[in-house]
Structures are given as structure tokens and as C-alpha cells.
Amino acid sequence: MLLFLDESGHDHGEAPYEVLAGVAVSERDLWNLIQAIRSAELEFFGVHMADVGLEFKGKKLLKHKTIRHADQRPPLAPDRRRDLTREFLLKGWREAGGGPREPRSAEEFAAYGQAVTVFVMRVLQLAAAHRAKTFAAMVSTTAPTPAAPDLLRRDYAFLFERFFYYLEDLSPTEMGLIVFDELEKAKCRILLDQIERYFLETEKGYQRSARIVPEPFFVHSDLTTAIQLADIVAYCFNWGTRLRPRMTAPTRPEVEPFARVAFDMRYVGKRYDESGEKGWPYYGVFYLDDLRPRHEREGEVDR
């Protein structure tokens, strides 16, 4: 099982929360899912996104302006929408290559906006059809972080915990690999060291290393479809999902339909006490307002 991870809101820009999101896909389903997404690109855009420089990212595809353009015309017929969108994208690609500025019609803007919305919805539906599971740590932007730089943040630790439980639920022998969007090399090294320390030097982490390979992979997001899918999921959760009552920031209503599809894919499991009689649920999507380890949080209370 592969867990693809990406972030939303960690630059502390306009996003209301920090979100670390993951999409778990079985290796037997991954290539079929990738092929289905590539086919959807041709169906809705008339070209592959990479061929015209269109970023497969939530921040790019679901921005306010794009969805506003979609609403400026009644729904276009699929073939007409695809042809207009293809021309719209090719104009931008030619301009980016140094060509002269080419005018776009209002209908082309509307077609592109409509194509984007149906494409993103199709991608999420394809993920669900290929048995993907979503995970997300939704974090307050004011959450305190660990004082010690070598400690893994709780959002990562809790997300790995949920992934571990998911692997246990699948089969007695299921193993998991973690795949991250590549960061700056120095940041990758820091995260690698934190993850290694968590899995090798903490009791819970060591137990979970029996299922999760402690050394993650880092890949270029623009070359890895499943990382791009995780980016879309992270963005949708950030702007369209609220775990009440603790999350009170406003949503973008136009993003909520996408977020609901992603939320319906979330992992939900159950753990039991030693007697096997008392159980409690575990959810793959959760909220945190403090990222410090327990000893730091308890130390603050004691002061």
C-alpha cells in the first residue's frame, strides 16, 4: 500500500488551516487510476495538462476566478466545452513560449472553468472507484510546534498512526510505503531525520515500523500523478471541510462538493481494548490545535 502525502496552507498565506493530507492507493490499483486520470484530461481538456503547462494543483485549478468564470455561462455541451478549453489552453501555451498575446473569448473562459470543475470532480470519483482512502491532519495556523527540532510533529505522527491501523485492517501482512512531495533538500533531510527518530526511538513508532517502511520516498509532484491527487485532496479539505465545533473558519461553498467526495473516502476504523469488548472509532481525517509532544504540553500546564 502506498500513501502519497502533500500539504496545503503551510506557507501561511490565505488558507484558513494547515493541512497534511494523504491518499492511500494499493499498488494493484495505482496504474489503473493514473491511466484513468490521464484519460479524463483528454476528455475534458482535449490535451494532457503537462503538454500545455497546466498545473495539476488545487490552488491552480480551484481558485476563485476559475470557478467564477464557470458560472458566467450555462453549462456547455461536452464536445463544445472540450474544444473551447483546448483552444484556451493552447493560446496560453503559445504565449508562454514567447508568442504574441492571443485574445480569449468569454465563452472560452467559461468553458475552461466548467472543464476544470467537472475534471476535479471526476478525478476524486475515480480515486473512490479505485478504492483509495484519504487521510488528513487539519491544523490550526496558530498551533504551537515542538521546541526540539528533532521531534516529529503530532500531525505526522497521528497520520502515520491512522495509516498503520488501516494497514492492520487490510490484512495480517499488508505493508505501507510513504511517498512525499519533494521539498528543499535541507528540509527533506530534517524530515527524514525526524521520521527515522520517530520509528526507531519511540515505542509507538517502533511498533508501527513493523508495517510502515520508516524511510519515505520523495518525488517531484509535477511528475507524479498520485502526489498531485493528494494536493487536490489537501486543498479541498482546507477550503471545504470543517470538523465542528472546533473548526470555525469559513469555507468556500463552491469547494464543498469536492471536499465531500474526498471526505467520504476517509479511513474510519475501530480499535478495541485488551478484552476485545470496549471499542472506539479512529478517523483518518482529524483536527489538531497543538503540535507539541505530550511532555511539552504537560510541562506547560505544570508551570
Residues 228 and 120 in one domain: no
**Which of 130, 158, 188 is at the close of a domain?**
130
Residue with cell 474510519: 268
* Residue finishing a domain among 130, 148, 176: 130
Q: Are residues 99 and 142 in the same domain?
A: no
Residue 276: domain span: 1-26+134-303
Domain boundary among 130, 158, 175: 130
Beta-carbon neighbour count of residue 257 at 10 Å? 14
- Label the pairing between strands 2-8 and 177-181: parallel
Distance between CA atoms of residues 134 and 7, nearest Å: 13
Q: Do both 81 and 143 map to the same domain?
A: no
105: Cβ contacts below 8 Å, ≥ 6 apart? none
The per-residue pLDDT string of the chain (303 residues; one tens digit each, 9 = 90 and over) reads: 999 999 999 887 889 999 999 999 999 999 999 999 999 999 999 999 999 999 999 999 999 999 999 999 999 999 999 999 999 999 999 999 999 999 999 999 999 999 999 999 999 999 999 999 999 999 999 999 999 888 999 999 999 999 999 999 999 999 999 999 988 888 899 999 999 999 999 999 999 999 999 999 999 888 799 999 999 999 999 999 999 999 999 999 999 999 999 999 999 999 888 777 788 899 999 999 999 988 888 776 444
d(CA 6, CA 233): 9
Q: Are residues 159 and 98 in the same domain?
A: no
What total number of domains does the chain contain?
A: 2
Residue 177 has φ and ψ, to the nearest 5°, of -115, 140
Q: Are 163 and 3 in contact (CB under 8 A)?
A: yes
Task: Tell me: do 117 and 165 sit in the same domain.
Answer: no
> Are residue 21 and residue 53 in the same domain, yes or no?
no
What is the rounded distance in angstroms from the CA atom of residue 186 to the CA atom of residue 265?
Answer: 33
Q: Is the pTM of this model over 0.75?
A: yes
| Residue 243 DSSP symbol | -
Q: Note the Cα 84 to chain centre separation in Å.
A: 29
